[in-house]
Amino acid sequence: MKYRRLGKSALQVSELCLGTMNFGPRTTTAESFEILNEAMLSGINFVDTANQYGGELGVGTTETILGQWFAEDPSRRDSVILATKVHEPMSEEINDRGLSARHIQAACDASLERLGVDHIDLYQMHHIDRAAPIEEIWQAMERLIAQGKITYVGTSNFPGWAIAQASEKAIAKQQLGLVSEQGLYNLIERRAEMEVLPACRAYGLGLIPWSPLAGGLLAGKSSDATGRRQSDDMKTAAADRADQLTQFETLSESLGETPSVVALAWLLHQEGVVSTIVGPGNKAQLTSVIKVPELYLSEETLAKIDEIFPPCGPAPEAYAW
């Protein structure tokens, strides 16, 4: 496994980040433990979750499973860079959601209890809250840092302008500010290149792509076609992009790799990307991509990939005068 600094911080995280959204809804507790153990053995030290994860089992379920894993061997906590998120509704209560200072404080305390830990390494705002002044958000985050409950702050699904706004407020107060953005980025969805990635580079945030395989579209025809890939929407998307996906699969085969491995490796070749989420549903899916950080893609290969999946164009000032 290889490691990179988390944005402008000095913290070192693995180039693969274990996403846990499947823990509970799709993967049993026992299977989740197997995945976590395999991840640790392979050198993955970065684990991402969210207080909302749990699906039909209920919000908080995934954090609870992680808490049970930590409780099984408390020494594991020392080896894990633990990230979770705040924003999504946790109940029908009107204030039990969003990024008000009140909710951030309460949600953090609840996450700490479910996880069974005394601090969260990376606390991420799951979505932008346009009703919450950035001053209020930083007030809450600064309090949590002072209390020792969180160490670093990140965003998720934020536009470039909001990353800039939040970063400038922190700079004005001579604070570290944001260190990461977890955003949608893959070969099919490359709009992050227009504003989000440039903002991350300018303000020292490491980008953590989610859905790196575009919901399974980039996994290849021979992969385990389960879950979202069987939905009507995904089948339609696969049909619409059949030519692209076939070309990509052929290119991957010429490299002696699976499309999943190449798609993940491509992300790690993009300036500003610090670690990419992998969300395995079982241990085998995890082991199949462990070698991703070791795969080097030549300039020629990267150019061929751009031909198949064209970038968005010059950024971030494509339309500036």
Task: Provide the annotated active-site residues.
Answer: 53
What distance in Å separates the CA atoms of residue 238 and residue 216, rounded to the nearest whole number?
9
How many Cα atoms occupy the beta-carbon half-sphere of 39 within 13 Å? 32
Strand bridging mode 178-184 / 276-278:
unpaired
What distance in Å separates the CA atoms of residue 165 and residue 162, rounded to the nearest whole number?
5
Which stretch of DSSP H or E encloses residue 85?
Answer: strand 81-86
CB 144 within 8 A of CB 106: no
Cβ–Cβ contacts within 10 Å for residue 216, how many? 21
CA-wise closest residue to 84 among 156, 135, 143, 35: 156
Concatenating the DSSP letter of every residue in 170-189 gives HHHTT---EEEEEEE--SS-
Please give the structure tokens belonging to residue 221: 């025809």
7, with CB counted inside 10 A (0-12, 13-18, 19+), is buried
Whole-angstrom Cα Rg for the chain: 19
Please give the structure tokens belonging to residue 171: 């700079």
